[in-house]
Structure 1
Amino acid sequence: MNTVVQMPDTKKAKPVAQKEDAMWLQKEMINANYMDLAKAHSQGRKVAATFVPGNLNELLMCFNLARSLPETNALQNGMRKKSGKMIMDAERDGQSEDVCTYVKADLGMMMGGEIGPTGDPMPKPDVLLLSYTGCFTFMKWFELIRHKYGCETVMLHVPYQGEGRIQPNMREYVVKQLKETVIPTLERISGVKFDIDRLRQYMRESVKAEDDLVRVLQSAKNRPSPIDGYFGAVYYIGPIFTAFRGTPEATQYYSMLRKEIDERVRLGKGPITPEGEMGEEKYRLIVEGPPNWTSFRDFWKMFYDEGAVVVSSTYAKVGGLYDFGFRHDPENPLESLADYCLGCYTNLNLPSRIDMICKYIDEYQADGLLINSIKSCNSFSAGQLLILREVERRTGKPAAFVETDLVDPRYFSAANVKNRLESYFQMVKQKRTALAGAH
């Protein structure tokens, strides 16, 4: 089933976008969370700001905290074409051109009267919870917010997976901080006593949603793939990577999504694009790196116009590597929060990332790798050329590189990106012909 959804207004009207029912529902959920945030203080609730990778959503819910996610705020503003002005305002205020554009969009939003992406006011956070997972910028970002609001900051230091695996002492170190620092601080700020059984109950819901999400993401192993594992997947991961993991609403959402995608597999259908059903599947790609949000729809169109579907992407794992078996564990709740933080994509070393991409190319029978290198995101971009060369060497499949930005419209050159993509698809075609000839 498709629902026709009106896209946000831009200067020139675009045709209405086609969306699956589940895409429409996730938009409603995200909007409902902004409404929840707008009303939190008047309802006597405290507000926590936290980040997507390694977020402790189930734990925060134990303290009745409303949850704001600065990256999500920035990308939502980007998709609504609001981030360009915010970034320029932050630069005029002294932020460097090289600073992560999520940060500048967030700071610009604060300077512009603190109105959120949906037009609802954004509340001042009462606590900043940083579970540090591989992105140093997060620490500087929260320093700036703390400086502006004078709110409390609680830091969960998560060791980097330098050797490619989680050691018991790493897990113990994170659990110790949860028990001795994070939980007592959240109790004090919220005035709510921690109840581990409440945490276990939220985790039972998380597991159901995680199982269904993995089923959806892995449906792309079918030919044709019923989903786009990059452009489509950013809708699918929205609820679980933000303020809904652990809620019955998320369980319901992923159950609905799974049924919708199972039906597409049964009917042998490809993905839904903003212009309706995708035509013939000609190329199957793996994509590394976040999307460009300010020109998201134009960027996606360059793929589906060529019959290219992304069967898996690393970005769709930025909030958790569920497809490699991780699940929140109600029996060991604090240990599983530690493992979750330790296992986020941005906390993995380069060999682990390369292994993961090679595995995807093999399991999803992809034609090659495309890297979208983000100008202002060091957490993803550092080492991407090395990843590209190593994946090409190990798989024998062609790889290519395009460059855009997260939410800065100045760094999306449509003609440049389109040329590179067209050259890449030619390369894939030639490689296939050569292989067919060799057999």
Structure 2
Amino acid sequence: MSEAVKEPSMLLQKEMIAKNYDAITSKHQSGRKVSSTFVPGNLNELLASFGILNNLPEINAIQNGMRKLSGDYILEAEKSGHSEDVCTYVKADIGMMGKGNIAPNGKPFPDPDVLLLSYTGCYTFMKWFELLREEYKCPTLMLHVPYEGDGHSTKNMRDYIVSQLKEVIIPGLEQVSGVKFDIDRLREALRNSAKAEDDLVWVLEQGKRTPSPIDAYFGGVYYIGPIFTAFRGTPEAIAYYQALRKEVQARIDAGVGPVTPDGSNFSDQKYRLVVEGPPNWTSFRDFWKMFYDEGAVVVASSYTKVGGMYDLGFRHDPDHPLESLADYCLGCYTNRNLPTRVDILTKYVEDYQADGLLINSIKSCNSFSAGQLMIMKEVERRTSKPGAFIETDLVDPRYFSAANVKNRLESYFQMIEQKRRGAARAA
């Protein structure tokens, strides 16, 4: 297979991610502390204020999936007793540890100095960190984030999180790092975050244009890379999103779509989709190709919101630093109830003038997959646009059937065409 063509911003974010891995694996030379934490609800600005590096286990699983390594790691974990039904991110991570714990740069991961779990709706994260705690025997800090079961947060919820930050998380990070908490340093990071978040939202909202200058799912995973991982709150993130915004503006000015992996500008866009659920990583390029071969562009997606619902108006606020961190955690997509997710996806279908909602149901991810058929039917009812359902997995190659996915996509596009013809006759 020929080398995939990448836009300049994609190459830039790849360099940034590589830089973070180099910093993590050189911990013993630099003397810096390393945390393990997760993407939804991550407290990157707070960690950075203590000089702690941020390693994200699910990002490691994604990297290994795209490198075709996760299949062997999953089998390694299953040999040690983990069920086939366990989240494959977990098994890819546990299996990686059993095979040398090698980072994408080819160097071994150091043991983390602290496990920081910000719990935002995914129960698996807690069990995952129990396994990591048994392996590493390091301090574990948990920030419990109340679930938005009623569809909104309350002052009591926010106050509860702030009290945990003050009484548990910050003292714990002070002890691990040996650095005294500096609220002004945190404020500066939050100020940087807000600037980057402004540009990210601008980029994602360009999917409302025709033709769309972005792909908000396959291309979107590159757009969100720096802000959802170790760079939110840094000057590097500001520079990245400024560069990305200029790149998208150039495509708007030229009237072209995003670049596909084969190097063509995807401008002949027949179908506009909203997609719910994470992508498949082990066959990412083939999965993407199925869409642009059919002329389908994703104009909005829920996956690009798992690290923050910035498009709904939230920004990190340096004037209210701890309260801002609490609001961020509460508002993560995985912490929102199903009716709220229906509202969000319905709004995307309408605002982005999509032809319908496509759900990629992930076999091993209950956090996303629970209730998705109900979500699809309700969005169909509200928008009168057809929905469709495909099934893959995160990083387990055994559960990606290219023929099955392709057939379902083709059937879905035929359904959209029938719906269009019916609407034309009615008019």
TM-score bracket relative to the smaller structure: over 0.9
The DSSP-based 3-state class of the residue aligned with 1:311 is strand
The offset of 1:374, in angstroms, is: 0.2
The offset of 1:279, in angstroms, is: 4.3
Match of 2:321 in 1: 333
Q: 5 Å matches for 1:135-284?
A: 135-276=122-263, 277-284=265-272
Match of 1:383 in 2: 371
Match of 1:89 in 2: 76
Q: 5 Å matches for 1:361-372?
A: 361-372=349-360
Q: Deviations over 1:380-431 (max 9, x none)?
A: 0000000011011111000000000000000000000000000000000110
CA contact (8 A) 1:53 1:318 kept: yes
Match of 1:76 in 2: 63
The offset of 1:116, in angstroms, is: 1.1
Between the aligned partners of 1:102 and 1:339, the Cα distance in structure 2 is 26
Match of 1:53 in 2: 40
- Flag as ranges the 4+ runs of structure 1 deviating above 6 A: none
Query: Runs of 5+ in structure 1 lacking a partner?
Result: 1-13
Between the aligned partners of 1:57 and 1:16, the Cα distance in structure 2 is 33
The offset of 1:118, in angstroms, is: 2.6
Q: Deviations over 1:247-299 (max 9, x none)?
A: 00000000000011011111111111101211411000000000000000000
The DSSP-based 3-state class of the residue aligned with 2:26 is helix
What amino acid does structure 1 have at the position aligned with 2:401?
S
What amino acid does structure 1 have at the position aligned with 2:365?
C
| 2:91 counterpart of 1:104 | yes
Between the aligned partners of 2:285 and 2:361, the Cα distance in structure 1 is 18
Q: Deviations over 1:182-203 (max 9, x none)?
A: 0000000100000000000011
The offset of 1:37, in angstroms, is: 0.2
What amino acid does structure 2 have at the position aligned with 1:316?
T
What amino acid does structure 2 have at the position aligned with 1:74?
A
What amino acid does structure 1 have at the position aligned with 2:320?
N
Between the aligned partners of 1:54 and 1:280, the Cα distance in structure 2 is 37
Match of 1:411 in 2: 399
| 2:339 counterpart of 1:357 | no
CA contact (8 A) 1:109 1:116 kept: no
CA contact (8 A) 1:264 1:270 kept: yes
CA contact (8 A) 2:362 2:391 kept: yes
Match of 1:430 in 2: 418
Match of 1:31 in 2: 18
The offset of 1:42, in angstroms, is: 2.3
What amino acid does structure 1 have at the position aligned with 2:93?
D
The offset of 1:121, in angstroms, is: 1.6
Aligned-residue CA RMSD (Å): 0.6
Q: Which TM-score applies when normalising by structure 1? A: 0.96
Between the aligned partners of 2:377 and 2:208, the Cα distance in structure 1 is 24
Which stretch has the larger CA shift, 49-58 or 109-118?
109-118
Match of 1:67 in 2: 54
The DSSP-based 3-state class of the residue aligned with 2:42 is coil
Between the aligned partners of 1:34 and 1:367, the Cα distance in structure 2 is 40
Match of 2:7 in 1: 20
What amino acid does structure 2 have at the position aligned with 1:336?
S
Between the aligned partners of 1:208 and 1:159, the Cα distance in structure 2 is 27
Match of 1:399 in 2: 387
Between the aligned partners of 1:17 and 1:375, the Cα distance in structure 2 is 27
CA contact (8 A) 1:285 1:308 kept: yes
Between the aligned partners of 1:403 and 1:193, the Cα distance in structure 2 is 48
What amino acid does structure 2 have at the position aligned with 1:123?
P
Query: Runs of 5+ in structure 2 lacking a partner?
Result: none
The offset of 1:16, in angstroms, is: 1.7
Which stretch has the larger CA shift, 108-117 or 331-340?
108-117
What amino acid does structure 2 have at the position aligned with 1:303?
F
Match of 2:306 in 1: 318
The offset of 1:117, in angstroms, is: 2.2
Q: Deviations over 1:107-138 (max 9, x none)?
A: 01111111012312211011000000000000
CA contact (8 A) 2:256 2:267 kept: no
